[in-house]
Amino acid sequence: MKAIVHKYEMDNIDTDVIIPGPYLKIMDPDELAKHAMEGLDKDFVGKVNRGDFVVAGENFGCGSSREHAPIALKHAGITAVLALSFARIFYRNSVDGAHLLPIEIDRDAYENISDKDQLEVDINKGEVNNLTKNKIYKMKPFPELIRKIIDVGGLLNYTP
């Protein structure tokens, strides 16, 4: 995976800003995607290209359990969110629903990555390669079960 970063240098980006409450009645993922990050950045949808990454701080995706949040991001084009930490339901939803990859990075990497940097993410190597800055960061490895669920394409395809 090789694409551009959209960096939001903030902690606690909650699901109410990722996809505001009034849109929760929408089930069509492409309709949802039109409102991705609407509560934080009105220009988000316009500037994201298929495959791009979001980079953010601590506790990304806190708040409501709405799976609409990773669905909206995915259908807006995002394939992975790289954050210092994730709220647990957002993490589960992203992996179990096979919407996007929640990748935990350390503070050095977080601070080093700038908006619009081009990254290459390799989950097999456990590495994030910043092509713009010519730097390689380690990502926090996925726990064993999470990795298996990712590999089979979501929890519904997984047999314990």
Distance of alpha carbon 13 from alpha carbon 83, whole angstroms: 10
Does 62 engage in binding with another protein (CB under 8 A)? Answer: yes
Closest approach of another protein to the CB of residue 124, in Å: 21
Among 59-67, 103-111, 118-126, 127-135, the segment contacting another protein (CB under 8 A)? 59-67
Structure tokens at 59: 């506790």
Nearer CB in complex with another protein: 71/121: 71
Comparing CA positions, the residue from 99, 107, 120 lying closest to residue 52 is 120
* Number of residues near another protein (by CB under 8 A): 37
Site for another protein in 118-147 (CB under 8 A): 143-145
Helices 88-96, 144-152: inter-axial angle, 10-degree rounding:
40
Does 43 engage in binding with another protein (CB under 8 A)? Answer: no
User: At residue 53, what is the residue type?
Assistant: F
Q: Which residue has the tokens 């930490």?
A: 85
Backbone angles phi, psi at 70, to 5 degrees: -65, -30
User: At residue 57, what is the residue type?
Assistant: G
Nearer CB in complex with another protein: 59/130: 59
Q: Which residues bind another protein (CB under 8 A)?
A: 12, 14, 16-17, 20-22, 24-27, 39-40, 58-59, 62-68, 85, 87-89, 92-93, 96-97, 143-145, 154-156, 160
